[in-house]
Amino acid sequence: MRRCYLGAELAAVGVAIGCVVLYGWSREWPELRHRVVFFVITAECATLIGPWRVGPFTRWDLAQVMYTALYAVLIVLHGGYLWKRTSPSG
Statement: residue 61 has pLDDT above 70: yes
What are the pLDDT digits (tens) for 13-33?
A: 899 989 888 887 777 777 888
Question: What is the tally of structural domains in the chain?
Answer: 1
Q: Work out the widest C-alpha separation in the chain, in whole angstroms.
A: 58
For residue 90, being part of any structural domain is answered with no
Q: Give residue 32's domain range.
A: 2-85
**Backbone dihedral angles phi then psi of residue 86, each to the nearest 5 degrees:** -80, 140
pTM for this predicted structure: 0.70
- pLDDT digits over 65-81, tens only? 888 999 999 999 888 88
Q: Is residue 34 part of a domain?
A: yes
